Structure formats: C-alpha cells, structure tokens
C-alpha cells in the first residue's frame, strides 16, 4: 500500500502556483487536507487502471503522472498526457461514479492528495464556502480539459479529412478529370440550383 506523507508549506505554495485553487492560502488548504488521504507513488507505480471503479479525485502535489491507454493484451502504450504538480486526476469518476477511463502511473516519485466523495460530503457540510470554491475550480479545470480534448479531436479529424480529400483527388485523376475542372462543374451546378430555387 502507498505511504502517507505530510505537505510542507512550500508544497502548498507550489500547488497554488500551478493553478488549482491558486487563491487559497495555507489555512484553507490545511482545512481541506484534514479530509484527504495522502499518498506517495514510486516511478512506474500505477495510481489506477482503466476500467477500475473509483470515487476518489487526486491532486498532484509533487512529481508527475502519465495518463496511458493500455494496448491490446494490456500492452504498454505511449502516454496520452503528462500531468505535473497542481493538476487534478480522477475527477470524472469522482463526479459520475463511472469506471476509470484510462490508466495513470507515476512518471517519477509523486506525492498526491486524494479526496473521496464521502470525505467531500463531510467537508461540504462543515465548510460550505470552501466546498463551493473547490467545486467551481474543479469544474473550471474539467472544462479546460474538455476544450483541449475537443481541439485534439478536431485537429485529428482535419488531418483525416485532408488525407481523404487528397486520396479522392488522386482517384479522380486516374479517370482523366482534373480536380479544378470538377470543382468548377460543382460550382456551376450549385449556382444553377440556387438560381432555379430563386
């Protein structure tokens, strides 16, 4: 099992500087820490695996984690992302109770704070203002992650579309029709249809 560790003032400051709850001071963090489990991973050790159940959100305090998608037969895959100190991980399962969507392992020796849904409920009951701030910040980071994912998907689709258009142009060229001529004919057809609908 993972060893516990204590957070230094420097670690708390570093966490705030990295973006998660950056307005919180040591006092607010100390309050939240009373409800969190502290964990330390060695390099290569997994925090969790894809498909596992889990209702704990983790905050990286020091070190870095790699998000990986297992290949066929659970073979190692290239990391999808690297998360540094100040990042949160596991928030999706924390909120929706679904299985883990990817595997996460330590890139180096990594210190984490884990917050279960049960512990958060206690925290929220006793510190509603801090709990609201926590949820707002978690929602902001989830939104940023989704936007980043959408940008990557859009870029990937754009690359595939460009490749398909190029392949189609080559196929059309085999029949002795230039792409310019085809485009010209399609434009004329659209113009005629528009005029006819008018």
Q: Looking at residues 157-186, what average pLDDT do you find?
A: 61
Q: What is the predicted pLDDT for the residue at 116?
A: 95
Residue (of 57, 85, 54) closest to 142 by Cα position: 57
Name the DSSP class of 1: -
Q: Of 79-83, 97-101, 139-143, 147-151, where does the model show the most confidence?
A: 97-101
Q: How many CB atoms lie within 10 A of CB 191?
A: 10
Note the helical H segments in 21-127.
Answer: 26-33, 91-96, 117-126
Q: What is the pLDDT of residues 70-84, one digit of tens each?
A: 766 655 667 888 888
Residue (of 79, 100, 80, 81) closest to 91 by Cα position: 100
Mean pLDDT over the full length of the chain: 79
Q: How many CB atoms lie within 10 A of CB 195?
A: 8
Number of helical (H) and strand (E) elements in the chain, helices listed first: 6, 8
pLDDT above 50 (res 52):
yes
Q: What is the pLDDT confidence band of residue 41, given thresholds at 50, 70 and 90?
A: very high
Distance CA 46, CA 67 (A): 10
Domains and CATH numbers, the chain: 9-126 (2.60.120.10)
Distance CA 172, CA 188 (A): 19
If 0-12 CB within 10 Å is exposed, 13-18 middle and 19+ buried, where does residue 138 land? buried
Q: Which of 49-53, 113-117, 139-143, 169-173 has the lowest mean pLDDT?
A: 169-173
Q: Is 170 helix (H, G, I), strand (E, B) or coil?
A: helix
More confident residue, 26 or 111: 111
Q: Looking at residues 150-155, what average pLDDT do you find?
A: 76
Q: What is the pLDDT of residues 77-108, one digit of tens each?
A: 678 888 888 788 998 889 888 899 889 999 99
């Amino acid at each position: 099992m993972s060893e516990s560790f204590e957070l230094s003032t420097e670690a708390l400051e570093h966490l705030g500087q990295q973006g998660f709850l950056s307005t919180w001071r040591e006092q607010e963090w100390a309050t939240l820490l009373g409800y969190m489990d502290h964990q330390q991973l060695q390099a290569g050790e997994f925090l969790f695996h894809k498909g596992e159940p889990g209702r704990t959100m983790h905050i990286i305090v020091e070190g870095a984690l790699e998000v990986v998608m297992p290949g066929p037969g659970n073979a190692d895959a290239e990391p999808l992302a690297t998360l540094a100190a100040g990042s949160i991980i596991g928030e999706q399962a924390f909120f929706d109770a679904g299985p883990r969507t990817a595997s996460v392992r330590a890139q180096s020796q990594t210190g984490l704070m884990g917050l279960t849904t049960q512990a958060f409920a206690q925290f929220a009951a006793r510190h509603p203002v801090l709990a609201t701030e926590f949820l707002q910040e978690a929602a902001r980071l989830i939104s940023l992650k989704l936007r980043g994912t959408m940008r990557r998907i859009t870029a990937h689709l754009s690359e595939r579309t460009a490749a398909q258009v190029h392949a189609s142009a080559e196929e059309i060229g085999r029949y002795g029709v230039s792409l310019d001529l085809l485009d010209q004919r399609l434009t004329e057809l659209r113009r005629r249809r528009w005029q006819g609908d008018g």
